[in-house]
Structure 1
């Protein structure tokens, strides 16, 4: 619980999306489907052109994988 207005402001600031120009997509899939989805993403948006990659991932209880892919909006 926030005790000061500054505590609340800090907590809300942590929720902001980074303004670094990347587009992000988050997925929550079973392990095999997660691998397939990540491969498809990297095939569609190659790292050399879009600087794409897996930004973060974690294994959830039950075996699902939650992961975030990022890429630049264009290949310029």
Structure 2
């Protein structure tokens, strides 16, 4: 009995690469949140966080500071997270 040949994988590889490129461009992880990371001096970081919370209110968009860390030179690195819409 003859064993069938393996199917070509080039089409599958192209499809996977295309989907992955689209996913990276969308910046929308599987959990549905939009994230943006900033690295700013302390006062500018406070202003940026306030700007996000005013633009996308926590009650509607679940906006929050997901993580933060203090870096040398009084710089704060933080990640803001929100839902893409208030629906």
> What is the TM-score when the length of structure 1 is the normalising length?
0.75
Greater RCO (CA < 8 Å, at least 6 residues apart): 1
Question: How far did 1:24 drift?
Answer: 0.1
Q: State the aligned residue count.
A: 60
Q: How does 1:1-76 map to 2 (within 5 A)?
A: 18-76=29-87
Give structure 1 regions of 4+ aligned residues with deviation exceeding 2 angstroms. Answer: none
Note the residue ranges of structure 1 that are not aligned, 5 or more in a row.
Answer: 1-16
Q: Considering only CA atoms, is the larger Rg found in Structure 1 or Structure 2?
A: 2
The DSSP-based 3-state class of the residue aligned with 2:60 is helix
Note the residue ranges of structure 2 that are not aligned, 5 or more in a row.
Answer: 1-27
Name the structure with the higher helix share.
Answer: 2
Q: Deviations over 1:17-75 (max 9, x none)?
A: 85210000000000000000000100000011001100000000111000000000000
The DSSP-based 3-state class of the residue aligned with 2:69 is strand
